[in-house]
């Protein structure tokens, strides 16, 4: 029997039925919850009943470092993490509630975007802040998009013809949210996102990394409340603040038409990508494979070409013909470093993780 994969994001609800051979039996993208509640019920009523359900959950905190069956106590712990991922965690919880209401007798599991990074070396995960903050509040660099990065690590080894444990991979998950991860031996060594998904590179509406002193200054000198600052950094920053649009496709069209603001925004965006890839390469001790995934990573030849051009000193070169191709998984490198475009398949990673858990009898 198939497994139902539920990915409740901030702007959409993605459902897939995955067969035991990993083929996709059914797939649909719906509006985000709660707007999609009726469509969700209708869809699941028409689809074959799944054997089990797995939900993507963004934040697992300190407690969840691997997939887990969803129980009452687990749900309570997930609710306690909402403040750490306010754009995402409530949607995951809404997805769990909505599907459970339709399929109350089907066992549900949670897979976590933070889990892949849970074993990061202390040198990468630790903030230089008072010890009581780290121990009492669990403050550390958690990292996100772990399901995508984990899938890319395995798929990169297949495409590059090497063993996972032999490759130094830098995985770039570029979408409305974005993160870059250094992977060595199939393990996360460092990543651009930190305590929350607000950290790291420039994103669609999120600022990425900024000076923490700026937050303090805004609150002290401009009288902004923490909630106002958080709202601005989460929803009014990034590409939207730099160019007036959060849609990279529109930004690129404006840039091509000579819009100076769009051109400057593109420069900031690419600069942050390139410097972060450089940092991740240093963390990995070198670079064998560079991966582009996510909506922008998979679909923007212009971003890939510009990033590749600015990383020539690392042995990166982009083949123009390959870069313009449309195969979901393909090689686009023309230099010493293998450069791959890989379709984001968190759904397969989730199914594999839970299947392994179920085989263990948990």
Tokens of 33: 């919850």
Q: Is 5 helix (H, G, I), strand (E, B) or coil?
A: strand
Pairing assessment for the beta strands 3-8 and 52-57 based on DSSP bridges: parallel
Give strand ranges (E) for the chain: 3-8, 12-18, 24-31, 52-57, 68-69, 108-112, 168-174, 178-184, 187-191, 289-293, 330-331, 338-341
322 and 332 Cβ atoms separated by less than 8 Å: yes
- Nearest-angstrom CA–CA distance, 167 and 157: 7
The two structure tokens encoding residue 15? 């459902």
Instruction: List 333's β-bridge partners, or say none.
Output: 318
Cα–Cα nearest to 195, from 65, 12, 93, 58? 58
Q: Which runs of E-coded beta strand occur in 49-123?
A: 52-57, 68-69, 108-112
Of 21, 38, 51, 113, which one is the catalytic site residue? 113
Long-range contacts of 322-330 (CB under 8 A, 24+ apart): 328/298, 329/155, 329/159
Q: 113 an active-site residue?
A: yes
Q: Which residues are catalytic?
A: 113
């Amino acid at each position: 029997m198939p497994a139902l994969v539920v990915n409740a994001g901030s702007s959409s609800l993605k459902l897939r039925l995955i067969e035991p051979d990993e083929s996709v039996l059914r797939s649909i993208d719906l509006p985000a919850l709660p707007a999609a509640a009726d469509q969700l019920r209708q869809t699941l009523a028409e689809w074959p009943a799944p054997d089990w359900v797995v939900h993507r959950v963004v934040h697992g905190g300190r407690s969840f470092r691997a997939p887990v069956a969803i129980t009452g106590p687990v749900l309570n712990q997930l609710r306690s993490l909402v403040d750490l991922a306010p754009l995402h965690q409530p949607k995951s919880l809404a997805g769990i509630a909505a599907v459970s209401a339709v399929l109350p007798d089907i066992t549900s599991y949670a897979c976590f975007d933070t889990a892949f990074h849970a074993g990061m070396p202390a040198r990468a995960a630790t903030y230089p802040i008072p010890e009581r903050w780290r121990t009492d509040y669990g403050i550390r660099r958690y990292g996100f998009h772990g399901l995508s990065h984990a899938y890319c690590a395995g798929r990169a080894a297949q495409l590059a013809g090497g063993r996972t444990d032999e490759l130094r991979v830098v995985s770039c998950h570029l979408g409305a949210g974005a993160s870059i991860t250094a992977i060595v031996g199939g393990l996360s060594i460092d990543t651009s996102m930190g305590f929350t998904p607000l950290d790291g590179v420039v994103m669609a509406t999120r600022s990425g990394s900024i000076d923490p002193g700026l937050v303090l200054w805004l609150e002290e000198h401009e009288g902004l409340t923490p909630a106002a600052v958080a709202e601005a950094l989460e929803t009014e920053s990034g590409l939207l603040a730099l160019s007036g649009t959060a849609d990279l496709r529109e930004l690129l069209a404006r840039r091509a038409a000579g819009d100076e603001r769009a051109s400057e925004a593109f420069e900031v965006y690419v600069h942050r990508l390139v410097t972060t890839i450089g940092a991740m390469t240093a963390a990995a001790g070198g670079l064998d494979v560079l991966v582009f995934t996510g909506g922008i990573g998979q679909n923007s030849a212009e971003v890939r070409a510009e990033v590749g051009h600015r990383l020539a000193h690392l042995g990166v070169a982009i083949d123009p013909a390959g870069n313009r191709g449309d195969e979901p998984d393909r090689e686009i490198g023309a230099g010493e470093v293998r450069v791959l475009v890989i379709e984001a398949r968190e759904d397969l990673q989730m199914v594999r993780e839970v299947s392994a858990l179920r085989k263990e009898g948990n």
